């Protein structure tokens, strides 16, 4: 039996759907509202509604599991984001230990190897560290690269300011991956259950790209071929994120920490691209999805 945390997320839903398509017993976890789990229930999944910040809920949710997929939901309004990440990670570790779960797939990230100095990723490094202390449990630390879906966060800036912008260098080459491809890799690993001990796997997308290239490809897709990328100062980037209302000051600082780690290259020095860790969905394919969302009317 498989337990999938974050089943309604971009990656979790792919994993859950693939397991269900193979007639596996699946328990899907969701927050507060069972209605969001209906699509999985219709395919035979067992719904489990609750909060992974609640240790007792997680213990109950992991009962009887052969394998679990663990993702830390981002609380972007937190005033202590890393502490929140650590709380959820400890809940997962304790639930795995108490229930004797033997196989764990963790959603981590590139940069987690640093443990400190990668901003929002540091809490994922903490989770990796906690699980590394467990004995006789198979743990696969899945470290995807920068999500293509992060580019959706640029939509308002494009519409209102006519630019793409962040604190990252415009000519910095970064691996860019679609979340559906991460889900596909995760589902395959859970179906095979052939990972042993504590291991790491990178998921890097088809190629490295720069934000200058991202702006060009996205701009072409939305009919703005002259769309440019602008690198912001860390201070201006922080102000913009906080003023947007989507993140707290603490989280904005941690996003800047990630940008600094990317700009310096230190979060990008633990992986080597291979055919095995390169996934198929291209930036150009994602740009079509972005363009459709960009052109869709806003529903109040």
Neighbours of 158 (CB within 10 A): 20
* Tens of pLDDT, residues 13-47: 999 999 999 999 999 998 766 788 999 999 999 99
Residue 124 has pLDDT above 90, yes or no: yes
Q: Which domains does the chain possess?
A: 2-146+178-203 (3.40.50.720)
- For the chain, what percent of residues have pLDDT higher than 70? 98
Please provide the average confidence, as pLDDT, over all residues in the chain: 96
Collapse the DSSP code of 234 into the 3-class scheme (helix H, G, I; strand E, B; otherwise coil) and give the result: helix
Residue 81 has pLDDT above 60, yes or no: yes
* Tens of pLDDT, residues 258-287: 999 999 999 999 999 999 999 999 999 999
Q: How confident is the model at residue 130 (pLDDT cuts 50, 70, 90)?
A: very high
Report yes or no on whether pTM surpasses 0.85.
yes
* Tens of pLDDT, residues 136-182: 999 999 999 999 999 999 999 999 999 999 999 999 999 999 999 99
Q: How many helices (DSSP H) and strands (DSSP E) are in the chain?
A: 11, 12
């Amino acid at each position: 039996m498989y337990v999938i945390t974050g089943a309604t997320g971009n990656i979790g839903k792919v994993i859950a759907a693939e397991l269900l398509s193979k007639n596996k017993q699946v328990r899907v976890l969701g927050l507060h509202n069972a209605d969001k789990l209906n699509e999985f229930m219709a395919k035979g999944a067992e719904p489990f509604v609750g909060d992974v910040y609640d240790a007792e809920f997680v213990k109950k949710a992991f009962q009887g599991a052969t394998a679990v997929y663990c993702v830390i939901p981002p609380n972007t309004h937190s005033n202590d984001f890393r502490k929140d990440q650590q709380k959820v990670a400890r809940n997962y570790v304790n639930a795995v230990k108490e229930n004797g779960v033997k196989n764990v797939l963790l959603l981590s990230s590139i940069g987690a190897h640093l443990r400190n100095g990668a901003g929002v990723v540091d809490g994922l490094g903490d989770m990796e560290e906690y699980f590394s202390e467990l004995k006789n449990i198979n743990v696969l630390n899945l470290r995807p690269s920068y999500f293509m879906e992060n580019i959706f966060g640029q939509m308002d800036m494009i519409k209102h300011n006519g630019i793409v912008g962040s604190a990252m260098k415009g000519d910095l080459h970064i691996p860019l991956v679609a979340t559906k491809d991460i889900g596909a890799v995760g589902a395959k690993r859970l179906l095979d259950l052939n990972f042993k001990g504590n291991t790491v796997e990178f998921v890097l997308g088809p190629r490295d790209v720069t934000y200058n290239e991202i702006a060009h490809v996205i701009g072409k897709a939305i009919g703005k071929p002259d769309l440019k990328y602008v690198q912001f100062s860390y201070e201006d980037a922080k102000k913009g994120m906080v003023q947007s209302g989507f993140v707290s000051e603490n989280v904005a600082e941690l996003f800047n920490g990630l940008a600094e780690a990317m700009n310096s290259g230190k979060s990008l020095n633990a992986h080597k691209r291979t055919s095995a860790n390169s996934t198929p969905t291209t930036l150009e394919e994602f740009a079509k999805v972005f363009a459709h969302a960009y052109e869709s009317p806003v529903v109040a």
